[in-house]
């Protein structure tokens, strides 16, 4: 109304001016006036629109904050070395489950069982606080998003580092598989050394108490040393152990159970990485019942850190401790394996009848402990971390091989200097988008630069997960059933006893 009146007023003014030639100039003039007025009117609407957007934006920010809190918060608050089990299984359950409508095959299993929590990286350099031990919070910094990689300084105390190194030294270190020269390569093509019954017993007896407990056999999985036990061997031993009234095997019992004439280890892990080179010494430390309290504590802390169901962590490989002396290194490699129809995960072999397939390590994530600081060299290198693209062929260019850490360590995208007590953790696999483990993350390629000065001690804690959810579930059922069948025996408490250890 007002506008119309004003317009009329203007019209009158123009009329009063009474200039005959004004018309051609008039219309543009008038239209500008009108435009100004219209935009005045519009600006109110504009204001409303802006306010609506503003509110939507604020709501989005709040939703995002809630989302981040939801994913990271609850675990931080409750999980600690003492209470990790409950906290983590709760955390797993609280995760959103996939909408049933859009899921085809494994709906039931996905909805009734656990999923794999995944920590948010947010962005490179992002720092989040995590509560892993009762009296302290740790800072966890995102180092890269491809692979999703975190650094947690002070994860281990100096004392804990020292204990792990000492335990490894007591256990004795063995040479890592090295295929440095053609002669050695030839050797590695030979059938594996045949182990005596005593040697097999000793290798299986992870806590070296002279008895084989079930968990030692269950948790014994394929390592890069090569498979020295076939699934048949392993099942044979387990069956023997179960028929034994004490539920444990002495060396004497073991002789009856294990048939040494069955040739162990026809398969070579070297097949997969035929050019994989490394030089170092390593050993395996069992972290289950009967092991040193520091080792059990560390395992619980890994559960808290990764927020994975404690059963997964407990059924994973023993801790691998590695020593790199001057010049020792490892070329870039993957800790896990791409899934394909010709391979099967080593750790779930008890649940499968697929001994014909090649066994490969399946490791959802790696937690790498730095047990010493290194004066010079010895960095962990991730040559393609956060690279814009990744192509395997692009790793070798102009005669430069990015996986050759002896030559090209300085060219990698990300290098991490070992600092005693620091832990780095990364996901070897992507998510499958349904709360389970997906494809191998090609960006997780990593190696160890040669040590130039000092000695580097590290430990690897690998969390084994089968990308085939059904197979993993079957495996865990097999283990659980066997635990139940032995109720009244120690086994009943095996998987939980160590969760209530004091620091």
Ligand X SMILES: *[C@@H]1O[C@H](CO)[C@@H](O)[C@H](O)[C@H]1NC(C)=O
396 near ligand X (CB under 6 A):
no
Please state, in angstroms and rounded to a whole number, the distance separating the CA atoms of residues 253 and 440.
Answer: 41
Per rule CB under 6 A, is residue 487 in the interface with ligand X?
A: no
Least distance (Å) between residue 279 CB and ligand X: 24
Closest to ligand X by CB, 20 vs 399, is 399
Q: How far is the CB of 475 from ligand X (least distance, A)?
A: 10
Q: State how far the Cα of 264 lies from the Cα of 195, in Å rounded to an integer.
A: 8
Residue 352 interacts with ligand X (CB under 6 A): yes or no:
yes
Residues 6 or more apart whose CB falls under 8 angstroms from that of 468 comprise 339, 345
What are the DSSP calls for 88-136, one per residue? HHHHHHHSPPPPGGG--S-HHHHHHS---------STT-EEEEEEETTE
Q: Which of 2, 391, 398, 502 binds ligand X (CB under 6 A)?
A: 391
Q: Is 384 one of the binding residues for ligand X (CB under 6 A)? A: yes
Contact 456, 168 (CB under 8 A): no
Select from 17, 261, 342, 388 the one that contacts ligand X (CB under 6 A): 388
Contact assessment for residue 235 and residue 351, using Cβ atoms and an 8 Å cutoff? no
390 contributes a contact to ligand X by CB under 6 A: yes
What string marks each residue from 102 to 141 as x (binds ligand X by CB under 6 A) or -? ----------------------------------------
Nearest to ligand X of 293, 411 (CB atom): 411
Question: Under the criterion CB under 6 A, does residue 192 sit at the interface with ligand X?
Answer: no
Asked if 81 and 301 count as a contact pair (C-beta separation under 8 A), the reply is: yes
**Under rule CB under 6 A, residue 144 binds ligand X:** no
Applying CB under 6 A, does 44 fall inside the site for ligand X? Answer: no
Shortest CB 396 distance to ligand X, Å: 9
Q: Which stretch binds ligand X (CB under 6 A): 35-43, 126-134, 348-356, 363-371?
A: 348-356
Closest distance of CB 86 from ligand X, Å: 31
Residue 394 interacts with ligand X (CB under 6 A)?
yes
Instruction: Give how many residues touch ligand X by CB under 6 A.
Output: 11
- Provide the β-strand partners of residue 423: 152, 369
Does residue 344 bind ligand X (CB under 6 A)? no
Verify binding: residue 387, ligand X, rule CB under 6 A.
yes
Q: Under the criterion CB under 6 A, does residue 343 sit at the interface with ligand X?
A: no
Q: Tell me how far, at minimum, the Cβ of 411 lies from ligand X, in Å.
A: 10
Are the CB atoms for 360 and 272 separated by under 8 Å? yes
When asked if residue 190 is in the footprint of ligand X (CB under 6 A), the reply is: no
- Residue nearer to ligand X on the CB measure, 263 or 411: 411
C-alpha to C-alpha distances, 132 to 91, 129, 156, 165, 249, nearest whole angstrom:
15, 10, 11, 22, 36
Mask 354-373, x = binds ligand X (CB under 6 A)? x-------------------
Bridge partners of residue 459, in order along the sequence: 321, 369
In three-state form (DSSP H/G/I as H, E/B as E, the rest C), the secondary structure along 281-314 is EEEEECCCCCCCHHHHHHHHHHHHHHCCCHHHHH
> Which one, 135 or 391, has the nearer CB to ligand X?
391
Q: How many residues does the chain have?
A: 503
| Residue closer to ligand X, measured from CB, 171 or 482 | 482
* Interaction of residue 403 with ligand X, rule CB under 6 A: no
Please list, in sequence order, all residues whose beta carbon lies within 8 angstroms of the beta carbon of residue 337, skipping any fewer than 6 positions away: 272, 343, 360, 361, 362, 440
Which of 18, 353, 399, 502: binder of ligand X (CB under 6 A)? 353
DSSP code at position 333: E
Segment near ligand X (CB under 6 A), from 8-16, 358-366, 391-399, 421-429?
Answer: 391-399
Q: Which two tokens stand for residue 351?
A: 């649940």
- Nearest-angstrom CA–CA distance, 355 and 489: 30
- Residue nearer to ligand X on the CB measure, 462 or 475: 475
Q: What is the β-pairing status of strands 380-382 and 136-144?
A: unpaired
For ligand X, the closer of residues 301 and 349 by Cβ is 349
Please tell me the distance from the alpha carbon of residue 230 to that of residue 392, in angstroms, as a whole number. Answer: 32
Enumerate binding residues for ligand X (CB under 6 A): 352-354, 384, 387-391, 394-395
């Amino acid at each position: 109304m007002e506008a119309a009146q004003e317009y009329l007023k203007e019209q009158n003014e123009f009329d009063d001016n009474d200039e005959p030639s004004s018309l051609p100039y008039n219309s543009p003039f008038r239209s500008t006036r009108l435009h100004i007025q219209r935009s005045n009117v519009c600006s109110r609407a504009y204001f409303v629109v802006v306010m609506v957007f503003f509110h939507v934006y604020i709501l989005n920010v709040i939703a995002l904050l809630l989302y981040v809190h939801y994913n990271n918060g609850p675990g931080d608050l409750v999980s600690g070395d003492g209470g990790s089990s409950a906290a983590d299984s709760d955390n797993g359950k609280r995760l959103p489950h996939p909408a049933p409508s859009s899921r085809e095959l494994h709906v039931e299993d996905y909805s009734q069982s656990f999923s794999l929590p995944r920590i948010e990286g947010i962005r490179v350099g992002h720092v989040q606080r995590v509560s892993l031990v009762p009296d302290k919070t740790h800072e966890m910094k995102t180092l890269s998003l491809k692979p999703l990689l975190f650094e947690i300084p002070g994860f281990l105390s100096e004392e804990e580092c020292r204990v792990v190194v000492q335990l490894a030294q007591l256990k004795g270190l063995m040479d890592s598989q090295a295929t440095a020269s053609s002669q050695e390569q030839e050797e590695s093509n030979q059938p594996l050394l045949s182990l005596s019954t005593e040697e097999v017993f000793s290798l299986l007896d992870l806590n070296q108490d002279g008895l084989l407990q079930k968990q030692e056999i269950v948790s014994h999985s394929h390592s890069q040393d090569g498979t020295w036990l076939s699934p048949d061997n392993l099942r044979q031993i387990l069956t023997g152990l179960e028929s034994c009234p004490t539920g444990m095997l002495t060396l004497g019992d073991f002789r009856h159970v294990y048939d040494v004439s069955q040739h162990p280890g026809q398969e070579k892990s070297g097949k997969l990485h035929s050019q994989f080179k490394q030089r170092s010494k390593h050993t395996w430390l069992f972290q289950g019942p009967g092991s040193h309290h520091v080792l059990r504590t560390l395992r619980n802390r890994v559960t808290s850190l990764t927020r994975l169901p404690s059963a997964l962590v407990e059924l994973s490989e023993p801790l691998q401790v590695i020593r790199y002396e001057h010049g020792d290194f490892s070329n870039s490699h993957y800790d896990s394996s791409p899934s394909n129809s010709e391979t099967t995960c080593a750790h779930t072999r008890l649940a499968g009848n697929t001994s014909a397939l090649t066994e490969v390590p399946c490791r959802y994530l790696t937690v790498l402990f730095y047990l010493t600081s290194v004066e010079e060299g010895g960095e962990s290198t991730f040559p393609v971390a956060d690279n814009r693209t990744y192509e395997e062929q692009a790793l070798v260019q102009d005669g430069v091989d990015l996986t050759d850490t002896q030559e090209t360590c300085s060219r990698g995208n990300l290098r991490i200097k070992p600092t005693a007590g620091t832990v780095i953790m990364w996901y070897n696999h992507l998510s499958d988008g349904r709360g389970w483990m997906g494809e191998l993350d090609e960006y997780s390629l990593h190696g160890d630069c040669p040590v130039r000065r000092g000695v580097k001690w590290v430990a690897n804690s690998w969390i084994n997960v089968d990308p085939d959810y059904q197979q993993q579930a079957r495996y865990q059922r097999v283990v659980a059933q066997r635990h139940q069948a032995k109720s009244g025996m120690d086994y009943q408490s095996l998987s939980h006893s160590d969760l209530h250890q004091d620091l």
